[in-house]
Each structure stands twice: as structure tokens, then as C-alpha cells.
Amino acid sequence: MCFTECLDMIEHYLFILAGFIALFYGAEFLVKGASEISLKVGISPLVVGLTVVAFGTSAPELLVCIEANANGSPDQAFGTIIGSNICNIALILGVGALIRPIVINRQIIRREIPILFVASVLFVLMLVDGEVVRWEGLILFIGVVVYVVSCLVKSKKEDDVDSFDDFSPEQIEKAKKSGALGMVYSVLFIILGLLALKFGSGWLVTSGSEVAKNFGISEAIIGLLLLAFGTSLPELATSIIASRKGQGDIITGNAVGSCIFNILAVIGVTAMVSSLTATNISWLDMGVMLGLLAVISPMMWSRKSLSRFEGGILLAFYLSYTVIRFMLDQGMIGA
């Protein structure tokens, strides 16, 4: 490796480090702004996590997928979404539960998990012929519009006091008294958080992809593992910060909501811009994505919570999948 190449690699590693720093502070700002807005407006933290936070943290996936498809790398786009959904359920919820057991809101179990399962099955059926064309993308996009509107309407109709159990009476009273200026500050925190998450994840994805290519890693694996992990870092950072603050609704809302947005909004918009054709996405990857939903559902139903032990199982599942998928791609083990 020549001197110039060494400098390029050092630059990539520095951008990776800067990306992690930006993600940490971006998540801090996003969780702070989102939780304060939920208190001011009276919309539950779960709905804020399912909509505002989920959409914001899914923005990196949208940008990566559109760019990947435009550059003639649709496998990276598909891999990013499938891998990101695997990451959201197994890694994000797993890490969050390991830090602090997560109480699962009943709305997640009764409404969001079934919606995510239907969206995932629909996505897999669309991929049976190896592509998602423009009209299929339009169907997915209409689905996310209906989903967001229904979330907001449902939130306004229901007065779920339990949704604010993660906050002290002092926090609720302070947020309500902060007035218009407080709302402006909360919105600014969300904007700053999303910008930091955008740039942080972008630096990680771009520099990480360059490092991976030097090791001869395929586009599908870069999408499924590297880009999926990189674009899920906003969710992971948000989950860690929210878990430390005991705000479980934002964690589950963010993770499950991001999965729904990834399929309906990200794939939908990307396919509407230009049809997506898969060439190296295996049924193993889609099977793992659907299988995780079958695993997580009984965990949530059992005690309406995710324990540290269950979080450990999810994290071990994710690490095992990552290792096996990489070894398959590199021909270390047979398919």
C-alpha cells in the first residue's frame, strides 16, 4: 500500500470516529426534543417514537437506498433495508433490553407488530419475481401515509395516561409551562439531532464502505451488514440514550416504527424513483427478517416486556447471523 493510500485509509478511519461522535450527540438531542414535544403536545412518547423519531432515524436508509439504486447497485438498497430491519429488531431492542429491561406498550403488540408483519410479508411477495417496480413502490408509499395518519388520529382520540409513566410529574408540569419558546427549543433539538445523525451515519457508511471494498466484500454483504448497521446506528444510539433515561416507549416505537418506515417509505420511495431489481439477495436474509418477528412476538406477549436475558438472546441471534452471512458470502462455508 503506497503512502497516498495509507493517508486515504487514515482519513476514512477518522471519519468513522467522527461519525460515532456525531451519532451520540445526535441521539441525545433527538431523544430530548422528542420526549419534550410529546409532553407539551400531549401525544404519547410511543406515537412520537413511531412517527417523528422513526422517520428521522430512517432518513439515512432512504438516502443510501436512492443513491445506491441510482448508481446501479440495487442489491445494496435491498440489503440495506433487509439488514436494517434485522438490525432494528435483534440489535437495537437487544442492546436496549440489556441496558435496562423494556416494558412493551400494549399498542406495539396489538397494532404495530401485526402491521410490520403484514408489510414484511408484502415486501417479500413483491420480491418473488426479483424486483419491486414503480407501481408496487406506490402501493408501499400509500401504506406509510395511511399508517402515519392513523397513528396521529388514534393518539388524539385516546388519553393514555400510562404512556407518560416514564416521566415524573415535575417533568410533565415543567414541559407544559415552557410555552411557545420551549416548543421552539424542542424542535431545534430535534433538527440538530437529525442533522447530526444524518452526517454521522453518512460518514460511517461512506468511509466504512471504502474500507470494506478494500477487503473484497460483495455489494450484497456491504448492504446487508455494513450499510444496514451503519444506517441503523441512529436507531442504536437513540435506543441506548433512551434506555439510559428509562424511556422504553421511544425505544420500541423507534425500532418497530423504523422497520415499518424502511419497508413502506424507503423501499416505496426508492422504487417510485426507479424500479429495484435484486440479483444477490438470498431467501436466507428474508427468512431471517420474517423469523425475527416470529421470535420477538411471543417474547413481547409473555410478560409485556423484554428482559435482559431476552435482550441477550436477540443480540446473540444478530451476531450469529452476521458471522454466518459473512462466511457464506466469502465461501468459508457451503450454502
Position 165 confidence tier, pLDDT thresholds 50, 70, 90: very low
Q: How far apart are CA 136 and CA 275, in angstroms?
A: 9
Q: How far apart are CA 17 and CA 180, in angstroms?
A: 37
Exposed, middle or buried, 138 (CB in 10 Å: 0-12/13-18/19+)? middle
User: How large is the C-alpha radius of gyration of the chain?
Assistant: 19
Three-state SS for 182? Answer: helix
Q: Looking at residues 142-156, what average pLDDT do you find?
A: 83
Q: What is the dihedral of CA 287, 289, 294, 297, to 10 degrees?
A: 180
The pLDDT value recorded for residue 207 is 77
Would you state the cell numbers that stand for residue 73, as one nine-digit string? 447497485
Sheet strands (E) in 30-70 = none
The pLDDT value recorded for residue 121 is 93
Answer whether residue 75 shows pLDDT above 70: yes
Three-state SS for 158? Answer: coil
Q: How far apart are CA 188 and CA 93, in angstroms?
A: 27
The pLDDT value recorded for residue 157 is 64
What is the number of residues in the chain?
335
Answer whether residue 162 shows pLDDT above 60: no
Answer whether residue 73 shows pLDDT above 70: yes
Q: How far apart are CA 82 and CA 120, in angstroms?
A: 9
Position 168 confidence tier, pLDDT thresholds 50, 70, 90: very low
Q: How far apart are CA 276 and CA 270, in angstroms?
A: 8
The pLDDT value recorded for residue 255 is 84
The pLDDT value recorded for residue 227 is 67
- Estimate to the nearest angstrom the gap between the alpha carbon of 319 and the chain centroid: 17
The pLDDT value recorded for residue 167 is 46
Cα 75–80–84 angle (5° rounding)? 150
CATH classification number, 44-163+218-329, choose in 1.20.1420.30, 3.30.70.3270, 3.40.50.300, 1.10.10.10 = 1.20.1420.30
Q: Looking at residues 156-174, what average pLDDT do you find?
A: 51
Q: Give residue limits of the domains in the chain.
A: 44-163+218-329
Position 215 confidence tier, pLDDT thresholds 50, 70, 90: low
Cα 296–301–304 angle (5° rounding)? 105
pLDDT digits (tens, 9 = 90+) for 281-324: 777 888 899 999 888 888 888 778 888 999 999 999 888 888 88
Three-state SS for 179? Answer: helix
The pLDDT value recorded for residue 226 is 67
Q: Looking at residues 20-27, what average pLDDT do you find?
A: 74
The pLDDT value recorded for residue 237 is 75
Sheet strands (E) in the chain = 102-103, 131-132, 276-277, 305-306
Q: How far apart are CA 35 and CA 247, in angstroms?
A: 9
Cα 152–201–140 angle (5° rounding)? 40
96 contacts 245 by C-beta, under 8 angstroms: no
Mean pLDDT of the chain: 78
The pLDDT value recorded for residue 15 is 84
Q: How far apart are CA 217 and CA 211, in angstroms?
A: 9
* CB contact set of 11 (below 8 Å; sequence gap of 6+): 207
pLDDT digits (tens, 9 = 90+) for 179-202: 666 778 778 888 888 788 778 767
Answer whether residue 43 shows pLDDT above 60: yes
The pLDDT value recorded for residue 2 is 66
Share of the chain above pLDDT 70, in %: 73
**Nearest alpha carbon to residue 148 among 115, 122, 186, 125:** 115
